[in-house]
Chain A
Amino acid sequence: MKNTDTPEKKETKKITFPQEWLVPVLAVVTGLIVGAIVILVSGENPFVAYGALFEGSFGNPLDYVEGFKSFFTTGDTQLLLRAIYPFTESLVTATPYIFAGLSVALGFRCGLFNIGAEGQFFVGALTSAYIGYSLTGLPTIIHLPLAILGGALGGAIWGMIPGYLKARFGAHEVVNTIMMNWIAFRLSDWLLNGPMKSSGFRPVTPNVEVTAELPRFFPEPLRFNLGFFLALLFAYLVYWFLFKTTLGFEIRSVGANPDAAKYAGMNIIRNFVLVMFLAGGLAGLAGSAQVLGVDHWVGQGFSAGYGFDAIAIALLGKSHPAGVVLSALLFGFLRSGATDMQSIARIPIDIISIIQGVVIVFIAAPDIIRWLYRIRVKKAEDTVLTRGWGK
């Protein structure tokens, strides 16, 4: 009944850069304001708390001054390293977020909702850890790539299963990726208590060999490592893949209009499987980077929350690799800084989840932001993210 070319559609224009980012920025600002209100209600001073958050994520400017001073006068790096510690820790936290966010974003581009990044992350981490500790005597040049590749492959297979079920049977990937998460958790419960358990009492894997560790740039306790640059490299690769290759063109076509993609001779089934394979691989890399670069072992609840964080990051980054990197950095800094906030201002770290939930709502409902700030933002072409349970 609806007229096919409704006038509203005619008004849509290609959105220019600043406007496109206006809503996400305002959503984050609003999220922080809501967070401040929560802090206020729980009886603390939001300025003190956010001050601690800032210091926890970027470091204290005075420390930087002191650090540089002593570096230039005495050549001592001790104070400088201490000053940059919070900043590098934030980058360390952001690293798996970039990978996991790219995973979910890639799915969105093909019209698939990957809620399974968490399970894929876990499987990737377990595979990397296994390759990392079980193989000994290999040189780094072989061992490290092997461990990374293993992690990617583990996650990729975990992601491909729901992708295949979607392509072959039309089974909805949202439910199946959730199910795969729980299967991954149960599997890891078993592995960590059995075959992969280290000699101690706790259900954790042994430490990976030094040859499988991602190299760190600074001495302990700074954990900043190659993983971060690997993440940036992959962000660029995903960008290139999505926007500059025929495969990416197909994926975006399938995501935007599967019927037209089929009409144009694209193989929808193959694209669904491919995208879920790659998305799983990216989530697996997140786990891999975390275990090889930061923790060096895997324990229970290792991946807790990464899947949902990744969804938030992909949504906030508008499923664009550059946006994903920016929003992953944002949440990395928030999460990392929140640890300091917890000890200084006694605000539990979980405030970040609250802010995250609020931000997602605002991102998904730009109308609320428009209404809140009385701004006129031209309507973007809304991408359909999910299409019910069935086909």
Chain B
Amino acid sequence: MKISNREISSETEKRQRISFGVTLLVVGLLIYLIFGLNTQANALATFGLNLSGSQALKVPDLVVPSLAGVYAMAILAVFAGAYQLARGVRATGWLIGIIAFTFVVAFLLWAVQDKSFSLTGMLSSTVVRATPIVLAALCGVISERSAVINIGIEGIMLMAAQTAVITATVSGNLYVGLFFAIVMGGLVAALHAYLVIRFKVDQTVSSVAINIFGAGATAFISSRFMQRAGDMLNNSGTFPIISIPVLSKIPVLGPVLFENNLIVYLTIVLVIAMHILLYYTPWGLRTRAVGEHPKAADTLGINVYLMRYVNVILGGMIAGLGGAYFTIGSVGRFDEAMTAGKGFIGLAAMIFGNWNPIGAYTSSLIFGFADSLQVKLQILRIPIPSEFLLMAPYIVTMIILTGVVGRAVPPAADGQPYEK
């Protein structure tokens, strides 16, 4: 039996090797055809590496000959494809990385030819735009690892965003707003947990109810109270940018990573903390066991329900932090439906990141990148509608779900209520 399995797995490996190799070759060819042929011979692309107002040491801008760069990318993709076909590399992540890298770099070189483009600015906004997505994704990771689906993140974030701005404005203290946003997130998630654990309500249905309720309640409060009261309720200010000494002086990296506000820093800390918690602590081991095989955990004296409550509520608190980002973390006021689907994109990032925190962060960065690229491209007046770029993350998620490129494997008991 063992032998035949190995044969089968080697067969699928072989198929995957060939498909990746061919894909890389096609990407190389596409880069040449789309960008190579449409780039002027001696055009230069200027990438701005300095961000105005940043503390980072100034460095000269990066000036690259567009065409040479595009060709370099095409060659890199073709070379990687040929190597893959001949030898076969197992690291799927690297291969996808090369495909994305070569294509995106070639695209930028083509788009920026004879123009100037703030690279640092885009990367910095990538990190910022990824923040609510990753917080939503972490909320999903932590609850689904204990087998509770929560697609009500959108509603939770909306309610938390509103709570944050109201409490912060009334108290005049942003930290108070942050605290109540997190509490709000925890409370709503607790309701979801109570419904799906105690009453075994279908998890998707309960989440949908939270989304509808969240959208309705925030809009209700907004138009009933906030619009009339104006700045009395809806003008909190935002967390200031904190420059981390020394580190923020590093060119490019400094403004991207070390000149951000509290919530962005908290997010990065959370990603690392969640990874450690999930894989290196008893709590994480129990969470994963509860998500994979709750009965096994139960027979070893682990309280399955308690684990799920704790995880879902923690997830809600993280989503609450994500909600706070929208108001007191970025614009300082609340607007109806301001989360604009970030909760759902976070869900996609969670799947894309294969239900683990680091993966969720990486894919959130990709989604954030697409988002900020789209904004920058509007400035560059590229003849591609920016809406199509915004569609890319959704399409990628759907492709990932087909399992053609690297299967996303959810926890085995995900979505199922536990009955003793």
Contact = CB atoms under 8 A, between A and B. Distances in A.
Interface of A: 38, 42, 113, 115, 165, 168-172, 174-176, 178-180, 182-183, 185-187, 189-190, 194, 305, 308-309, 311-312, 315, 346-348, 350-358, 360-361, 364-365, 367-368, 384-390
Contacts of A356: 212-213, 216
B410 to A, nearest CB: 4
A319 to B, nearest CB: 12
Interface in B272-321: none
Band of interface residues on B: 35 or more
Given A305-B215, A315-B205, A357-B209, A388 B224 contact: no
Given A180-B398, A350-B216, 9 more contacts: A169-B403, A305-B215, A350-B220, A350-B223, A352-B216, A357-B209, A389-B144, A389-B351, A390-B409
A169 B404 contact: yes
Interface string B113-151: 000000000000000000000000000000010000101
Contacts of B408: 389
B348 A179 contact: yes
A172 B208 contact: no
**Most A CB within 10 A of own CB, among B151, B205, B211, B347:** B205
A187 B391 contact: yes
A386 B207 CA distance: 12
Contacts of B410: 388-390
Interface string B199-223: 1111111101111111111011001
B394 interface: yes
17 contacts: A38-B220, A115-B208, A171-B403, A178-B151, A180-B394, A180-B398, A182-B341, A308-B215, A347-B224, A350-B219, A352-B216, A354-B213, A361-B195, A365-B201, A385-B205, A388-B413, A389-B415
Interface string B4-17: 00000000000000
Given A115-B208, A174-B151, A385-B205, A353 B387 contact: no
A113 B204 contact: yes
A179 B397 contact: yes
Contacts of B401: 165, 169, 171-172, 175-176
Interface string B145-173: 00001010000000000000000000000
Nearest to A359: B209
A350 B217 contact: yes
Given A175-B351, A350-B219, A353-B215, A190 B385 contact: yes
A178 B398 CA distance: 10
Interface of B: 144, 149, 151, 195, 199-206, 208-217, 219-220, 223-225, 341, 344-345, 347-348, 351, 385, 387-388, 390-391, 394-395, 397-398, 401-404, 408-410, 413-416
Contacts of A387: 415
B414 A388 contact: yes
Provide the main secondary structure of the chain B interface: helix
A364 B414 contact: no
Contacts of A365: 195, 199-201
B216 A175 contact: no
A194 to B, nearest CB: 7
A171 B199 contact: no
Given A169-B404, A178-B347, A182-B394, A353 B213 contact: yes
